[in-house]
Amino acid sequence: MTAIDWERRLLAQQGLEIRQRHIWGAVQGYGSDRDCEVPATAFFLHIAVVDDPGDLLGTEDQVARNIEAIGQSRFGSGMSYNALAFNTGRLYEAQPLTRRGTHTVNTFERTHCPTHPGSLTAPGWNNNVNARALCLPQQVDDPVTDAQIDAAARWAAVQIRAGLAAPWARWHGHRCVTAKDCPGGRAFDRINELQALTEHYVKNGLEDIVTKDEMNQVADMVVDKLLAAEVGEDRTVKAALRMASKAPAAARDLQRTLTEKIQSALLSEPGDVAVTVTAEQIEEAVKAALREGTGA
Ligand SMILES: [Zn+2]
Ligand SMILES: [Zn+2]
């Protein structure tokens, strides 16, 4: 069953940014059932062999609509692929992850790839059933940018982290399963790099990772900066600074409170666990610590 809201929620929870179909102007409907297997067991890289004339949203939207029109005219079910990754690094929604695409068929009937690890088997040798496809919207001789590889890696990694793809799902090129040049030599040569980057994001998530040691350093740095500051931004900060500047003991208290508050706000478990934090969380933790440290 096609489950578009569910898919979008899972990807967003993992921090993936992707331009949705109604934003880029998809004209086909994607809600009808075209059964596929979830979790996916492989990822395929394709190339659309179309011009990508600019690095602007407007031109990329037009390219996406062109690729949709090509897929629709050939197969009658909208975009052939599950996502596009432009050379700007922008990701575009294509065929939903829970609706079968059309472009990846294992005409070699290969169980395994001669170039990459991971299974290529599929029901009826139709990899659209159990694999997901990402397309590079460009010509074969166009550069494959680092931003594109990064975007493709993020896209695959969040699927694994969200349970939409199996942990053992691996990247392949379209040519791994059929007698085509797709995804072109430039893209094919970067598949091992794409796989390694995908594994990095599977392990760490898309956000920056901060260890407890790094968190202590951040806390120390924040305190140092606050104590060195001439004027605080709000009255709470000002009061804390004034108090700290007058008494070394108060400064130590403030530093300890800050460090504890930051750690408790950011670390869900004690010990050297890796955590995901945002600048907003750090700011909130500092403000909470200052409120508590000054009784304000
Ligand atoms: Zn292809
Ligand atoms: Zn392969």
Instruction: Give the ligand whose atoms come closest to the C-alpha of residue 171.
Output: 2
Same domain, 198 and 215: no
Distance of alpha carbon 112 from the chain centroid: 27
Tell me the per-residue pLDDT of 260-277, one tens digit each, with 9 for 90 and over: 666 665 554 444 444 444
Give the distance (Å) from ligand 1 centre to CA of residue 208. Answer: 33
φ, ψ for residue 203, nearest 5 deg: -70, -40
Same domain, 158 and 283: no
- CATH number of the domain that 162 lies in? 3.40.80.10
Please state whether the peptide bond connecting residue 123 to the residue before it is cis, i.e. omega within 30 degrees of 0.
Answer: no
Same domain, 13 and 95: yes
pTM: 0.72
Tell me the per-residue pLDDT of 156-195, one tens digit each, with 9 for 90 and over: 999 999 999 999 999 999 999 999 999 999 999 999 999 9
Q: How far apart are CA 110 and CA 1, in angstroms?
A: 28
Domain total in the chain: 2
Give the distance (Å) from ligand 2 centre to CA of residue 173. Answer: 6
Q: Which of 158, 174, 204 lies at the terminal end of a domain, its last residue?
A: 204
Same domain, 39 and 175: yes
Same domain, 48 and 157: yes
In 25-171, which residue ranges form alpha helices assigned H by DSSP? 57-75, 127-130, 146-162
β strands within 158-243, DSSP E: 165-173, 209-210
Q: Which of 174, 189, 204 lies at the terminal end of a domain, its last residue?
A: 204
Residue 218 clears pLDDT 80, i.e. is over it:
no
Instruction: Give the ligand whose atoms come closest to the C-alpha of residue 172.
Output: 2
Residue 29 clears pLDDT 80, i.e. is over it:
yes
Domain residues for the domain of 181 are 4-204
Same domain, 114 and 157: yes
Same domain, 188 and 102: yes
Give the distance (Å) from ligand 1 centre to CA of residue 65. Answer: 18
Same domain, 122 and 149: yes
Same domain, 63 and 110: yes
φ, ψ for residue 43, nearest 5 deg: -120, 140
Give the distance (Å) from ligand 1 centre to CA of residue 25. Answer: 23
Instruction: Give the ligand whose atoms come closest to the C-alpha of residue 192.
Output: 2
Tell me the per-residue pLDDT of 119-131, one tens digit each, with 9 for 90 and over: 999 999 999 999 9
φ, ψ for residue 106, nearest 5 deg: -85, 75
Same domain, 49 and 146: yes
Same domain, 198 and 213: no
Give the distance (Å) from ligand 1 centre to CA of residue 135. Answer: 8
Per-residue pLDDT, 271: 45
Same domain, 67 and 96: yes
